[in-house]
């Protein structure tokens, strides 16, 4: 609940509060895939978006109906190395698909 000039907290998709941090956990091919825990809500939301973009592609309209819509457009300002390594370690996405989606992601980030 807010009072006065306080703004309500924005609800970001793909993140939940867990053990005092923001947890990013996605469902991929019937398995839960933990991306990580983050101190900052927006950082967690960016991580969730980037992981979904890599797993599902850049066109949210092509995503499964149960997949949440992105919180933010593609951006160069978010560090992605840990997310990419988690996706690869979990074998959640083939390397060649990941490479092509990274190219698309960077092109979209340059466009905006």
DSSP 45-102: HHHHHHHHHHHH-S-GGGS-TTSPPPSS---SSS--HHHHHHHHHTT-S-HHHHHHHH
pLDDT at res. 9: 67
pLDDT reported for residue 62: 67
- Which secondary-structure segment (H or E) carries 43? helix 41-56
pTM for the whole structure: 0.80
Summarize pLDDT for 58-104 with one digit per residue, the tens: 776 766 666 767 888 888 877 788 899 999 999 999 999 999 999 99
pLDDT in tens, 88-98: 999 999 999 99
Model pLDDT, residue 1: 46
For the cut 50, the answer to whether the pLDDT of residue 2 exceeds it is: no
Q: What is the pLDDT of residue 77?
A: 76
**Secondary structure of residue 26 in the 3-state scheme:** strand
Q: Where are the domains of the chain?
A: 15-111
């Amino acid at each position: 609940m807010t009072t006065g000039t306080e703004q309500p907290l924005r609800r970001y998709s793909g993140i939940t509060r867990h053990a005092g941090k923001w947890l990013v956990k996605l469902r991929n091919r019937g398995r839960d895939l933990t991306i990580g825990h983050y101190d900052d809500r927006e950082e967690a939301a960016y991580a969730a978006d980037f992981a979904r973009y890599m797993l599902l592609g850049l066109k949210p309209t092509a995503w499964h109906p149960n997949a949440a819509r992105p919180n933010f457009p593609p951006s160069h300002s978010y560090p992605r190395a840990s997310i990419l390594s988690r996706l690869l370690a979990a074998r959640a996405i083939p390397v060649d698909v990941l490479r092509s989606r990274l190219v698309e992601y960077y092109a979209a980030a340059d466009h905006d």
